[in-house]
Chains A and B, each alone.
Chain A
Amino acid sequence: MAENENDLKITVRKLNLHYGPKHALHDVNIDIRANRVTALIGPSGCGKSTFLRTLNRMNDLIDSARIEGEVKVDGEDIYADGMDTVDLRKRVGMIFQRSNPFPKSIYENVAYGPRIHGMTNKAEMDALVEKSLRQAAIWDEVKDELNKSALALSGGQQQRLCIARALAVEPEVLLMDEPASALDPIATSKIEELIYELKERYTIVIVTHNMQQAARVSNDTAFFYMGRLVEFDATEKIFTKPKEKQTEDYITGRFG
């Protein structure tokens, strides 16, 4: 469905993943387009989060995980032998299900990434912190208390701070693993608005269990079931006339 090869940000071919004896992902093929929001939906345990974590190699942290197949970001195989996970994760940022700010100040949280990548200039850093916080739509709320502990923020603010923290590294892709699942409706809608704005600049892949959310924020939707990619298409097509029976059953609430 990609009209133009240059549009493709991430291409996945025949991806299989095993956790020990468990076969968690079966032959996944997908093309994720740049500057769009791609939603991954499906019932719990269907492999959508696992798949997300293969895109920045966070599964490397799990000893028992074995991966085969091909994942290319900008045409470069991220599982190739010479690939550096540190560089990869700089380009492919991640937002987690539970907001996980460091027990440091708001400023230090955002400055963490740039600092480990070698930024030392104070003025530059200040500017970057402000820019990231603005992009994450939290600047106005925290600008007067940048030295306050990040843990003092509310859940929704913490999650936006984590987004700002990820943006400060200036990634190209943002992976979001159910970023609003622990938040109240107001905080959720703020995050959704934010995602909508961010897609101008970033390629976003978001895992969600909330189908309205998928329908609201995404351009494309992929439906996962039991470790397989069942259907992948433009969001409106998935939600109005899915090709597969399983997809239809899921989005109409017949299971999951």
Chain B
Amino acid sequence: MTRSKGLVGRLVVGFTGACAFLSVAAVVWIMATIIWGGHTHLTWAFISQVPSEGMTEGGVFPAIVGTFFLVVIMSLVGVPVGTITAIYLSEYVGRQSKMAQVIRFAVNTLAGIPAIVFGLFGLGFFVQFSGNSLDKIFYHGALHWAQPNILWASLTMALLTLPVVIVSVEEAIKTVPQDLREASLALGATRWQTIRKVVLPGSMGGILTGAILAVSRGAGEVAPILFTGAAYFLPQLPHRFTDQFMELGYHVFIMTTQSTDVEKTLPIQYATTLVLLLLTFTLNFSAIALRARIRRRRVAA
């Protein structure tokens, strides 16, 4: 009895341990494969050159720049909006108030909507509705804004990453001790003065974490920009909001599924994927490290 029990016990631990091992192995396997396949082709020339010969040669420079612009515009919009929403939720309305619950439900819903639906929304709201309205008002209907461009893609992505920012910032705001808020208020500070001078400085780490996670998510998602601004091939860099742009993830997708010669471009595909993977990995890793530090501080406080 006891022996069979011990055997079953070892089996249970062994089986669950194998599941855990499998999950970790998947990460290692994917990363190793892509690093192995892409590292030889990942040279400075690859990073700094424009694709050439019908995208069978050359580098991914425009896609890197496009991705960079995308996440910068996205962050400029999404991070402040997300931060302010988090401040409102944790400092202005009671945690249990109806308003907080409604907004929180909205944010959770936003977080669960598939990326492709954001793409549709970007197309319907930004490109069609906003774009057409702008064109009608400012250009007498001439086509300027009512087509996919980097601004609409960035705004769509900002919406997609909004929950990421809100959750991170809220978590960080919670680490600011209530004692300090009371100290500030007892000195006659207003609510906003307390937020600006005590709460926000104490939450900078969380805001940064949120921004990094959002950037990483934004750099990795492709579905929302499929029809809001990403371009198949554009040798010139975007320099206006109304320009389309190349993007790393979209480039991977295009190269693997629509390339004229998939076999020949395989090294390029690997290297492009590797660039994307390294980019998101670095971002995520720093966010995880940063968040771990904040959590430790909370435990210490």
Answer yes or no: do A and B interact.
Answer: yes
Residues of A within 8 A of B (CB): 56, 58, 61, 63, 86-90, 93-94, 96, 98, 100-103, 112-113, 116-117, 162, 165-166, 169
**Shortest Cβ distance from A166 into B: residue:** B187
- 27 A-B pairs (CB sep. < 8 Å): A56-B186, A58-B182, A58-B185, A61-B182, A61-B185, A63-B94, A63-B96, A86-B190, A88-B188, A89-B188, A90-B187, A93-B186, A94-B186, A98-B179, A100-B177, A102-B183, A102-B184, A102-B198, A103-B180, A103-B201, A112-B187, A113-B187, A116-B189, A116-B193, A165-B187, A166-B186, A166-B187
Cβ contacts under 8 Å, B184 to chain A: 102, 112
Cβ contacts under 8 Å, B97 to chain A: 63
Inter-chain contact B183/A96, CB cutoff 8 Å: yes
Q: How far is the CA of A117 from the CA of B198 in the complex (A)?
A: 15
Question: Which residues B182-231 have CB closer than 8 A to chain A?
Answer: 182-190, 193, 197-198, 201-202
Identify which of A61, A63, A98, A116 contacts B187 (C-beta below 8 A).
A116
**Shortest Cβ distance from B191 into A: residue:** A86
Q: How far is the CB of A75 from chain B (nearest CB, A)?
A: 20
Residues of B within 8 A of A (CB): 94, 96-97, 177, 179-190, 193, 197-198, 201-202
Inter-chain contact B188/A169, CB cutoff 8 Å: yes
Given A63-B94, A116-B197, A100 and B190 touching (CB < 8 A)? Answer: no
Inter-chain contact A90/B188, CB cutoff 8 Å: yes
Inter-chain contact B188/A87, CB cutoff 8 Å: yes
Inter-chain contact B180/A100, CB cutoff 8 Å: yes
**Shortest Cβ distance from B179 into A: residue:** A100
Residue of B189, B190, B193 contacting most chain A CB atoms (<10 Å): B189
Q: How far is the CB of B100 from chain A (nearest CB, A)?
A: 11
Inter-chain contact A100/B193, CB cutoff 8 Å: no
Q: How far is the CB of A95 from chain B (nearest CB, A)?
A: 9
Q: How far is the CB of A253 from chain B (nearest CB, A)?
A: 31
Residue of B94, B185, B197, B202 contacting most chain A CB atoms (<10 Å): B185
Query: Known contacts A112-B184, A113-B189, A162-B183; can you find 11 more A-B pairs with CB under 8 A?
Result: A56-B186, A58-B182, A58-B186, A63-B97, A89-B186, A93-B187, A96-B183, A100-B179, A103-B202, A116-B188, A169-B188
Q: How far is the CA of A93 from the CA of B187 in the complex (A)?
A: 6
Cβ contacts under 8 Å, B193 to chain A: 116
Q: How far is the CA of A63 from the CA of B98 in the complex (A)?
A: 13
Q: How far is the CA of A187 from the CA of B145 in the complex (A)?
A: 69
Cβ contacts under 8 Å, B177 to chain A: 100
**Shortest Cβ distance from A88 into B: residue:** B188
Given A102-B198, A103-B202, A112-B197, A117 and B179 touching (CB < 8 A)? Answer: no
Cβ contacts under 8 Å, A63 to chain B: 94, 96-97
